[in-house]
Every structure is written in C-alpha cells, then in structure tokens.
Amino acid sequence: MSEFKIPVSLRWADFDPNLHLRHSVYYDFGATARTAFLMARGINAQLMAERHFGPVLLREEAVFRREVRPGDELFINVLVTKLRRDGSRFSFRHELTRADGTLCAVMNVDGGWIDTQRRKLTAPPPAVAEAMEQAARAEDFEWV
C-alpha cells in the first residue's frame, strides 16, 4: 500500500493575470490524479464501459495553504480516507506539495460508483472494490 503520487505540470493558462494559480486548476489536478490512480489499478474506461459503471463525485473541497507560482515543481497524491465495505462509496484526500515538501493545498472528495445503465449508485465489481481496499490509506482512514 505505497502512496500514489504523480508530478504536476503547470501551464501558463493555469494562472490568472496576478500569476496566481486559478482555483479550478486545483480540482483539475485532483481529477487527473484520481484517473491515473484508477488506471494504475486496471480500472480504465474500457472496463467501466464494458461493465456499465463509473465514478461520480458527491462532494469536493479544497483548502489552500501556500501560493503556487509559475515554475514550482509540484506533486499530487491520492490517499483513501473512507471506504464502504462493499466499495460503493469512497473518500480521497489529495495533497498538493512542492518538491521540497511544502504543502500547498489539500483537496477532499467523496464519491461513489454509478450504474451507467440504471443511472443509480451501486457497488462496483468485486475486483474494483478489492483494488480500492489495497490503495494507500490516510492516517485517519475509516470504514463507513
């Protein structure tokens, strides 16, 4: 259960005229990290289409700690903070850090899996629930 962390690339378009990272970009970084996290566990678009399920977010928040500037070398991680035993609901924490370890932002998301045919929340296939159970957990992880 090693931590899942990826580098973040900053683009000129990510900044406002004050060279301040736009707030919505933080959420984009989280979505990119979650997608990479799922794909690293074999949970990809093809599997989801074949099995008629996909992830949905129910809540998303960001807490901004330090300013991000052009040229910063950044990383974002994915830690599981909550899981239901059947895998139907999950919560992730993302920590956006500089290369020197400075914490720039913390994003928390709550989500679940949707049956894309019935359009209702559902438990994912057993292999998906097992993959989520094997992910790195936050220190405050809890079963819900």
pLDDT digits (tens, 9 = 90+) for 13-38: 999 999 999 999 999 999 999 999 99
State residue 2's pLDDT score.
Answer: 79
CB contact at 8 A, 63 and 95: no
Terminal-residue alpha carbon distance, the chain = 20
User: CATH code at 109?
Assistant: 3.10.129.10
Of 43, 30, 127, the residue nearest 79 (C-alpha): 30
Global pTM value: 0.93
pLDDT tens digits along 104-120? 999 999 999 999 999 99
Query: How many domains does the chain fold into?
Result: 1
Pull the structure tokens for residue 137.
């957990």
Q: Which domain holds residue 81?
A: 4-143
Give me the amino acid identity at 72: D
Query: Which H or E run includes 29?
Result: helix 23-40
Mean pLDDT of the chain: 96
How far is Cα 53 from Cα 123, in angstroms, rounded to an integer?
Answer: 9
Which residues lie below 8 Å from residue 104, measured CB to CB, with a gap of 6+?
64, 65, 66, 67, 68, 72, 74, 96, 97, 98
State residue 111's pLDDT score.
Answer: 98
CB contact at 8 A, 64 and 21: no
